[in-house]
């Protein structure tokens, strides 16, 4: 026991003795166990961190794909918004023109749907306008042989103003009235050179002339509706070949029938720019008043 430290631990009943060498071994064992345990715990922790990192990277990739998809969607939505805005701007410009024409005062404080609804209420007015103002073809179109304006007369050989338009047509082609009205004249008109002629008074200052007919199928005083048959094309009067002389007059002054023939509801504003002789604003205001008077009440009257 020489050169050894002896450590004695006593209590009331017993005692134990340890040498320093035993204590040192015990401490070394505890430390070694702690180191091994810490190493194992560290390994498991690093493994968990590695798995968590891989999962985080996978989630990051999914998020990046989702973000890219969302960015494309946002870009597409922005393009759609830009297109819609441009369409609304164009609609606003058109609405302003249309509102002026139908007698509505453009008001930027109203939303576009409200303004569209206000203008749409004038659909009856537009239908009325197309029933009383000459429009469309008076017979099946096969071409124009002589336009409106100054020309050399084919028979007199003098320079004269042609107040209408000559439409190519074979004999006996049906000729229709281009608006509602009353027959003012139907018969042979020698003084004008139009031969068999029908003149229809449409009211509101408009009259139409249908010349060189083979025969007429209406009489003076007859009431006609747009599209009614009024005669057959021919070659009577001062004419070199079968055709229809078609003429439109407003307040006795001839206007170019070409724009009235081309006039369609889908592009009805064109004529307002092309035909300046007609005060369209006042005419539209009048037809608007007439259409409003013709509209049925919004609700039936209450029964007594």
Token duo for residue 61: 């990739």
Least confident of 17-26, 210-219, 244-253: 17-26
Residue 228 has pLDDT above 60, yes or no: yes
What pLDDT, on the 0 to 100 scale, is given for residue 286?
86
182 has which bridge partners? 201, 223
Residue 176 has pLDDT above 80, yes or no: yes
pLDDT above 70 covers a percentage of the chain that reads: 76
Mean pLDDT of 69-86: 83
88-124 pLDDT per residue, tens: 666 666 666 555 555 555 555 556 655 555 555 367 7
Mean pLDDT of 80-85: 80
For 188-208, give one letter per residue: b (16+ CB within 10 A) or e.
ebeeebbbbbbbbebebbbbb
Could you tell me the pLDDT band of residue 166, with boundaries at 50, 70 and 90?
Answer: very high
Could you tell me the pLDDT band of residue 157, with boundaries at 50, 70 and 90?
Answer: confident
24-71 pLDDT per residue, tens: 667 777 777 888 888 888 888 888 888 888 888 888 888 888 888 888
CB atoms within 10 A of CB 169: 25
The per-residue pLDDT of the chain, averaged, comes to 82
Residue 239 has pLDDT above 70, yes or no: yes
Q: How far is CA 19 from CA 23, 32, 66, 82, 239, in A?
A: 7, 20, 70, 91, 148
Could you tell me the pLDDT band of residue 11, with boundaries at 50, 70 and 90?
Answer: low
What pLDDT, on the 0 to 100 scale, is given for residue 304?
36
What pLDDT, on the 0 to 100 scale, is given for residue 226?
96
Residue 169 has pLDDT above 90, yes or no: yes
What pLDDT, on the 0 to 100 scale, is given for residue 277?
92
Residue 246 has pLDDT above 90, yes or no: yes
Residue 297 has pLDDT above 60, yes or no: no
What pLDDT, on the 0 to 100 scale, is given for residue 156?
72
Residue 20 has pLDDT above 50, yes or no: yes
What pLDDT, on the 0 to 100 scale, is given for residue 51?
82
DSSP 97-111: HHHHHTTPPP-TTS-
Contact in structure between 128 and 204 (CB atoms under 8 Å): no
What pLDDT, on the 0 to 100 scale, is given for residue 298?
43
């Amino acid at each position: 026991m020489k050169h050894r430290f002896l450590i004695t631990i006593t209590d009331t009943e017993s005692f134990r003795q340890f040498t320093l060498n035993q204590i040192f071994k015990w401490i070394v064992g505890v430390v070694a166990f702690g180191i091994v345990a810490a190493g194992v715990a560290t390994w498991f922790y690093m493994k968990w961190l590695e798995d968590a990192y891989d999962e985080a990277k996978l989630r990051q990739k999914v998020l990046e794909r989702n973000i890219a998809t969302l960015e494309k969607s946002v870009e597409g939505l922005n393009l759609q918004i830009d297109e819609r805005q441009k369409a609304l701007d164009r609609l606003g410009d058109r609405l302003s023109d249309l509102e002026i024409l139908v007698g509505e005062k453009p008001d930027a404080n109203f939303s576009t749907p409200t303004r569209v609804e206000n203008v749409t209420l004038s659909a009856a007015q537009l239908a009325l306008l197309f029933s009383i103002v000459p429009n469309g073809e008076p017979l099946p179109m096969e071409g124009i042989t002589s336009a409106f304006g100054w020309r050399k007369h084919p028979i007199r050989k003098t320079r004269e103003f042609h107040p209408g338009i000559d439409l190519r047509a074979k004999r006996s082609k049906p000729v229709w009235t281009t608006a509602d009205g009353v027959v003012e004249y139907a018969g042979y008109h020698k003084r004008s050179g139009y031969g068999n002629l029908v003149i229809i008074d449409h009211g509101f200052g408009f009259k139409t002339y249908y010349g060189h007919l083979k025969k007429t199928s209406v009489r003076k005083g007859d009431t006609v509706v747009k599209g009614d048959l009024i005669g057959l094309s021919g070659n009577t009067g001062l004419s070199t070949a079968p055709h229809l002389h078609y003429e439109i007059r407003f307040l006795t002054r001839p206007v170019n029938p070409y724009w009235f023939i081309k006039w369609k509801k889908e592009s009805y504003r064109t004529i307002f720019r092309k035909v300046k002789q007609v005060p369209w604003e006042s005419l539209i205001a009048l037809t608007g008043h007439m259409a409003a008077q013709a509209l049925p009440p919004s609700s039936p009257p209450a029964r007594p």
